[in-house]
Amino acid sequence: MARAGASLVIGNRGAKLGEAVMRAIEEAGGVAVFQVTIVSKPEDVTALVQRAVKEFGRLDIAFNNAGADGRQVPLHEQDIEKASLVFDVNLKGVFYCTKGGGSIVNVSSIFGLNGYPGWSLYSATKHAVAGMTKSAALDYAQRGGHTFPVDGGVCAQ
């Protein structure tokens, strides 16, 4: 995106990794800023969108790719606290970030298309992201936006 001329706002829960991504973009000649963001906190997502608007005047594209995989064990062995984290990051976080506006790209996973032993919670969240994104794309296409297919899903613009 930076090579194509986009200015980027990087949100990540880890400052070290987020700053490293920002520096790599800048070293490649791009423009980027970084902000610590916990996507499971709506106020962090709001602050990230506000940062984009403050720094660059608007938000054109949101690329939502945060994820937590939890424990890979059968469903009956899943810990409720860790399960909540998977749902909070993978589903609620994408939901919060999808409300930011612009053209939106939500990343699911092959786990959103198939089931895998030991991955029931992760797979459930990725199925939910795929379904939410497809339905939202149809909502906004009816309002004059455009949709296009992407790897078994649909995107809206």
Cα separation, 156 vs 142, whole angstroms: 10
CA 62 to chain CA centroid, nearest Å: 8
Tell me if residue 116 is catalytic.
no
Do 87 and 33 form a contact (C-beta atoms < 8 A)? no
Do 103 and 157 form a contact (C-beta atoms < 8 A)? yes
Cα separation, 109 vs 88, whole angstroms: 17
Catalytic residue among 96, 116, 122, 140: 122
Where is 127: in which H helix or E strand? helix 120-141
The single residue listed with the structure tokens 């000649």 is 29
Report the catalytic residues.
Answer: 122
